[in-house]
Amino acid sequence: MTRFGIGLILMLFILPCRAQEPSKPLIVELSGGYGFLIPHRPVMRHLPAQHVPSLELYIGTKLNGDGVIWKGPKVWHLMHRSPEVGFSYLFTGTGNQDLMGYGMAFLTNMSFPLNKHDRFKLFLRSGIGPGYITRIFDIHTNLKNVAIGSHFNMCVKLGLHAKLQLKQSYMAAGISMVHFSNGAMVTPNLGINLPAANLSFGHQFGNYEPNLKIVNGMRRYQYDIIAMFTYGMKENYPAGGRKFGVYNLQSQYRHYITPKTAIIGGLDVMYNSARVAQIEYESRETVDQAYRFIRPGLNVGYARIFNRLAFFVQTGVYVLNHEGRDGLIYNRVGGSMVFQKWVAHFALKSHLSKADHFEIGIGKQLAFKSLNQNIINF
């Protein structure tokens, strides 16, 4: 509870002071959860020892069509039924206090209404941010913690909640999944997965007033083509070894079904120097013709569009896979943002439930087709 109190005090210092602005209400919510640790690999079956309680403090606001950071009208706010954005501090158990201790995270959140009812609403909330695990793998003192090898990790939380509005206050119940991982930058990195049931109470300070102005000249893409280079790092087993680079050249075609959604098709050309080093370590022989480990792949995916920002999920198939250890299927989940035809990219690449590495990248729109529209109703 001391750690939760410290995090709460830090949250109060970074809160945006917007309660005096009636068109964007300040929302404060306290949530409690109760769940368990999933031993998603056979080698983790000894880890679950206790149920997993959690506490989360959330501070946010409801988007109304006016800019929050960049000024000016924002059509996408109303297109997505005025989502909520905010920050939260999460304090959670891990399912084994002796081996893994506790988890903490500061999350940036976005909540999407799934229906239009005034008093009863379904929300899908996603959050991502830096996380911290208090007890990690140590070859001398904590050999049984095979789940996580670094204190600092990325934390992702997904939740589905039903909210009942009671004038300015509300209560909500739902389910969530919390995931801690370092993207194989430090081994071991099997990850920590914590599903839970949640109960929340919140209060809204101020009123919500949507900006219903007509927005002229909104750009809507029909398609775009992007070329991109990405880079990541990962560490091989045994734990404590060197870190190796992972490189990828990617081309991507995005076809926009609506202003809010797009389907994706693309080509990856990947080279994982960590895999080559792992084979050399295991065979005690130098790998000749390392270019044979270049792996081209074809991928398809789906993206949700928020003006210049897009969140996406992809599934791909290796066309060539010389040593075949990871199987034929790979996955990617992440986000991208367009700045004047330049594209910034961040994603987690995995093989089904096994995280492979985090990747960052930069690319450019090589071609696109767009049209301008006047949009009034959403």
| Predicted pLDDT at 377 | 40
Residue among 59, 58, 117, 60 nearest 83 (CA): 60
189 and 153, same structural domain? Answer: yes
Whether the CB-CB separation of 338 and 226 falls below 8 Å is answered with: no
| 147 token code pair | 């789940």
| 283 token code pair | 């065979």
Per-residue pLDDT of the chain (378 residues; tens, 9 = 90+): 555 555 544 444 444 444 444 467 899 999 999 999 999 888 999 999 999 999 999 999 888 766 554 454 566 777 777 888 999 999 999 999 999 999 999 999 999 888 887 789 899 999 999 999 999 999 889 999 999 999 999 999 999 999 998 888 999 999 999 999 988 788 888 889 999 999 999 999 987 766 555 444 445 678 889 999 999 988 777 676 778 889 999 999 999 988 888 999 999 999 988 877 777 766 676 666 667 778 899 999 999 888 888 999 999 999 987 666 778 899 999 999 988 889 999 999 988 777 788 999 999 999 887 755 544 443
| Predicted pLDDT at 285 | 67
290 and 269, same structural domain? Answer: yes
3-state secondary structure 157-206: EEEEEEEEEECCEEEEEEEEEEEEECCCCCCCECCEEEEEEEEEEEEEEC
| 77 token code pair | 């706010």
200 and 109, same structural domain? Answer: yes
> Can you tell me the distance from the alpha carbon of 242 to that of 191, in angstroms, rounded to the nearest whole number?
20
Cα radius of gyration (the chain)? 22
The answer to the question of residue 142 being in a domain is yes
The answer to the question of residue 335 being in a domain is yes
Q: Select from 148, 183, 205 the last residue of a domain.
A: 205
The answer to the question of residue 210 being in a domain is no
333 and 222, same structural domain? Answer: yes
The answer to the question of residue 317 being in a domain is yes
Residue among 246, 205, 247 nearest 22 (CA): 205
Which structural domain, as residue segments, surrounds residue 221? 215-375
158 and 36, same structural domain? Answer: yes
Whether the CB-CB separation of 92 and 66 falls below 8 Å is answered with: no
The answer to the question of residue 73 being in a domain is yes
189 and 234, same structural domain? Answer: no
| 76 token code pair | 């996408």
The structural domain count of the chain equals 2
Task: Go through the chain and tell me how many residues it has.
Answer: 378
Q: Select from 205, 229, 263 the last residue of a domain.
A: 205
> Can you tell me the distance from the alpha carbon of 319 to that of 250, in angstroms, rounded to the nearest whole number?
14
242 and 175, same structural domain? Answer: no
CATH number, domain containing residue 235: 2.40.160
The answer to the question of residue 278 being in a domain is yes
The model's pTM is: 0.77
Strands 215-235 and 169-181: what pairing?
Answer: unpaired
334 and 220, same structural domain? Answer: yes
| Predicted pLDDT at 185 | 82
First to last CA, the chain: 44
Look-up of token digits 């239009």: 116
| Predicted pLDDT at 196 | 97
193 and 325, same structural domain? Answer: no
Q: Give the burial class of 44: count Cβ atoms within 10 A of its Cβ; 0-12 exposed, 13-18 middle, 19 or more buried.
A: buried
Q: Select from 152, 185, 205 the last residue of a domain.
A: 205
The answer to the question of residue 148 being in a domain is yes
| Predicted pLDDT at 44 | 92
294 and 171, same structural domain? Answer: no
317 and 174, same structural domain? Answer: no
> Can you tell me the distance from the alpha carbon of 136 to that of 164, in angstroms, rounded to the nearest whole number?
40
CA distances 336 to 45, 222, 229, Å, are: 36, 17, 13
| H/E segment holding residue 5 | helix 2-14
- Provide CB contacts within 8 A for 133, sequence distance 6+: 94, 100, 101, 102, 103, 148, 150, 151, 153, 180, 192
| Predicted pLDDT at 323 | 67
CA 281 to chain centre: 33
The answer to the question of residue 299 being in a domain is yes
Look-up of token digits 């000749």: 288
109 and 15, same structural domain? Answer: yes
